[in-house]
Chains A and B, each alone.
Chain A
Amino acid sequence: MSIGEMQACLARLYVDEPFRRLLHIEPEKALEEYGLTPDESAALQGIDRKMLEYFAASLRNKRKKRIQRAFPMTFKLDRVKIERYYRRYYQLHTARPHQLPHQDVMEFGAFMEESFAQADDLPPYAADLARYERLYYGAAFASESSEASGASPQGNGATEERAGRMDARPRVRNGVQVASFRYDVAAIERALEEGGNLDDLRCEPDVNYIVFRPATADSDARMMRVNAATKVVFDLCDGRRPVSEIMAQAQAILRADGLEEAIVATVDRLLALQVLILGGGTTPAVSAKRRAFGTGYSESM
């Protein structure tokens, strides 16, 4: 009568290492959470322990492989230490039915960022690197949304759009994010890719802004570094403000006059890069604060 309990217990044995250990050390304690018959309890305790561990390790490694594809540089930081964090993540975040693979990848990235931020045994840029890879993965995944891939009427021909009209209201394309990093993560990524000595890399804290853009109809997902002034313009392009207001507010924030042409040129450049699109103001614009915390991806996935 308790086959559901038996299966629930089996599945937990496969994915929960402390539970497996408890079963072998103190089986009655481990199994008291489940309503099992004596036969079922005996069957669970009779499973080949070595092969059960082998199977459990294969499940853990299979999931890691999928995650590792999204975080190749993070996993290169320190194999032993990153494995330790991965195993912690694996233990704390059991894969759930209906959880899409990309959700797992994004949760892992967030976990690593938080963990690395307080880790004193990893390089100071580790959290930035994990976030960088998470945002890039998020942009690549968001490529599957219709607007991101240029399938929407607004997205088609985006390179032809211009901000010439002062009443145009540019907004950020769905799936695009801009994030600030304390370290030059692009340089760190290059160094890791080339297998260079990271100790030689000067990693001085600074402010680096990077835009993550999903793939479009005519190009792959990409990242682009932007300067602080462009970031100001970018943040003002929320689909509600017309270009005229963006110009006025950007000049106020930057405490400079005579930037009208430069600001229009910046908006045009971002339109050409398909980071912005001209759309009516119906976009649920992601606030700069939310983007900074890296949660904007959820709206486009």
Chain B
Amino acid sequence: MSHSSHAVSSIPVLGSGLGYRRELKRAMFESRDAIDFVEIVADQFLSDPRQIEELEELCDVFAVIPHGVGLSIGSVTLDEEYLGAIKVVSDVTRSPYYSEHLAITRVPGIDIGHLSPIWFTEQVLQSTVDNVLRVQEVLDKPLVLENVAYLFDIPNASMKQTEFFGRLVESTGCGVLLDLTNLYTNSVNHHFDPLAFLDELPLERVVQIHLAGGYWANGVLIDGHCEPVEEGSWSLLETLAGRLRVKGSILEHDANFPAELSVLLEQVDRARRMISHRGTSLEAAQAQ
């Protein structure tokens, strides 16, 4: 399948949802009416067939989007074994797309253990384009890539991240998962204007957003997914929602789970209200 047939534009509006975490399972099932869709971490469903049963149970109740962390799309070569494994998860969900991070997590002999930034160069762009096309061919659906939080740049890059994203989506037809909290966090830690980043990003390819809350440690804002969403991230959503119709929003919360799910659902609802009633000036401009 060529990238032209992976229609990011035809992805339906999903609404506002919550990242599925097993610690929240019961509460999420009890609050299913307040959650438009859920996002699973695909890597948590790869090691045992019974995890697929769990996933099927989840899919019976929710629209499910698989979100991976181990693809290492920026590596020179893809891990075909891993790709085969996520294909199973992706197929079970019948999701309109599969999302991952624009990052590196492994090289031969080393599992880095976390998302690490890629070097924005022509060579890396070319290998990433090849990888994205291969992933979309295997999964038979669009890949949607997320901007990551990073503690440092790799110097002497030949292009900005926004240009890298722009050329990547142009060459592959893939989509963008815009993590507004990562953007906010990076703008704080690296002292740049997040609105300028939005100006430069191919917003028409933004399929979904992420929101989360972090914490400060040693003068660094950490994307911890463990606190309420900062106002800085909400402000970016306000701006973004004024520019395009955000099809899906996911609140990520991985630790410090509140006693009541309502604490998270209030944020899910806030995002829903923001993405539901905002103007779509970009879409309107494109339509003209």
A contacts, CB < 8 Å to B: 1, 3-4, 6-8, 10-12, 14-15, 39, 42-44, 46-48, 51-52, 54-55, 58-59, 62-63, 94-100, 144
Contact = CB atoms under 8 A, between A and B. Distances in A.
B113 interface: yes
A94 B50 CA distance: 29
The 9 closest A-B pairs by CB, nearest first: A46-B155, A51-B152, A95-B111, A11-B107, A43-B156, A4-B76, A48-B152, A51-B151, A11-B110
B152 A55 contact: yes
Given A4-B76, A11-B104, A98-B81, A52 B110 contact: no
Given A11-B116, A54-B220, A144-B48, A96 B110 contact: yes
A1 B76 CA distance: 11
Contacts of B108: 8, 97
A144 B50 contact: yes
B114 A11 contact: no
Contacts of A59: 112-114
B123 to A, nearest CB: 5
Interface in B166-194: none
A47 B150 CA distance: 12
A54 B111 contact: no
Contacts of B75: 7
28 contacts: A3-B76, A4-B76, A6-B119, A7-B74, A7-B75, A7-B104, A10-B107, A10-B116, A10-B154, A11-B104, A11-B110, A11-B116, A12-B110, A15-B112, A42-B155, A47-B153, A47-B154, A48-B153, A51-B151, A55-B151, A58-B114, A59-B112, A62-B113, A94-B110, A95-B111, A97-B79, A98-B81, A144-B48
Contacts, number: 96
A15 B154 contact: no
Contacts of A3: 76, 119, 121, 123-124, 127
Nearest to A4: B76
Nearest to B72: A97
B107 A7 contact: yes
Contacts of B123: 1, 3
Given A10-B116, A43-B119, A95-B113, 12 more contacts: A7-B75, A39-B156, A44-B154, A46-B155, A47-B154, A51-B152, A55-B116, A55-B151, A95-B110, A97-B106, A99-B111, A144-B48
Overall SS of chain B's interface? loop
B79 A7 contact: no
Nearest to A66: B113
Size band of the interface chain B makes with A: 20 to 34
Overall SS of chain A's interface? helix
Interface centre among B76, B77, B104, B111 (most CB of A within 10 A): B111
Nearest to A96: B111
A58 B123 CA distance: 28
A62 B107 contact: no
B107 A43 contact: no
A14 to B, nearest CB: 6
Nearest to A63: B113
A49 to B, nearest CB: 9
B109 interface: yes
Given A7-B75, A7-B76, A97 B152 contact: no
Contacts of A95: 110-113
A12 B124 CA distance: 18
B218 A96 contact: no
A190 B153 CA distance: 48
